Each structure stands twice: as C-alpha cells, then as structure tokens.
Amino acid sequence: MYFGIMHLTAYWNNSMKTLLLFSLLIFHFSFPIFPQMAQRLEQILERPAVDYQEAVLLVLEATDRFGPDVTGNAELAFNYAMEQRWLPGNAAMSTTVNFRGLSLLIMRAFEIRGGVLFSITRSQHHAYRELVYRSIIQGRTDPQMAVSGEYLLFTLNRVFTLIDNDLL
C-alpha cells in the first residue's frame, strides 16, 4: 500500500506539475485577449455604418483560415482581401460597406459556392442575390444600403449557423 502511494505521488510530482504549470501559463497569457475582443465587438455593434477596414478584419478573423500576421493587422487584412479580389474595385479602407460589397466578401472569404450566375461572373450583385436567396441577408435591405455593425455581426452569425447545419 505504501509503495503504491509513493509511486502515485512521484508520478503526480513530475507529470502533473508540468501539466499544471503549462495550463496556468496558457490561462495567464490568453486571459487578456477576451476583454479586448469583447470591447471591439461592442464598438462594432454601436456603429451605424461599418467601413471596409472593420468588416474585412472581422470576416478574416471569423474564417479562422489565416494566420495572425494577416488578421491581426487591419491594413494587411484589407490588402490581402484586395489582392484576392474579394472586394469591389473601388473599395478603400475608410469606405462604408454596402450589402453588395459585404456579400462579395463573405461569399469569397467563406468559399461559399454560388449559383450559375455567381459562378460565371463573381460579381457583387450576384453575391448579394445569392445571400438573400440563402436567407443570410434578411429583412428589408437594399444592395446599396450601408451595413451597420449590428447587421454585420448578424450576417456572420447566419453564415456560421448554416455552416454548422451543413447547409453551405
């Protein structure tokens, strides 16, 4: 009996201490990330109109396919999206996002397969029509209407819901 307790204590001393120390370090360094993200989301929610800088950064972070070098910096994220032709040609970082531009960004970033017309043209107009058809964009919207922060987060939530249900 005594040998079993000593053996268990020795095992706990080596492996468990390492695991405990590693867990505490991970918790310590990841804890400040959550308040920063919550604060940023609150700022986006309050915005009556979102610009491409905020929209691109949020969408690229939501796709979770890009490293921190692209998504951690708004300028790098915007430039990456422009190079990939995920944005309209006249988009600038400070330009307000409309539903057509947001639709193109979401369709391309999440690699959503569209209908025949979107597959041929890859245009913002057909991206908007596709997202309306799939009920990702809902309500009374116009393709030229500015996207609010609340609606941007709602739209991303709809995309994740459809992805989770294997409908995209």
* Structure-token match 């590693």, residue found: 22
CA angle 106, 95, 84 (to 5 degrees): 40
Residue type at 16 in one-letter notation: M
CA of 68: how far to CAs of 11, 57, 77, 155, in Å?
37, 11, 10, 23
Task: Report pLDDT for 39.
Answer: 81
Q: What's the rounded Cα separation, in Å, for the pair 131 and 144?
A: 14
Residue type at 160 in one-letter notation: F
Nearest to 78 by CA among 59, 99, 56: 56
Tens-digit pLDDT string for the chain (168 aa):
445 444 444 445 555 555 555 554 455 555 444 566 678 788 888 899 999 999 999 998 888 766 666 656 888 889 989 999 999 988 999 999 999 999 999 999 999 998 999 999 999 999 999 999 999 999 899 999 999 999 999 999 999 999 888 886
Neighbouring residues of 91: CB distance < 8 A, sequence distance ≥ 6: 52, 82, 101
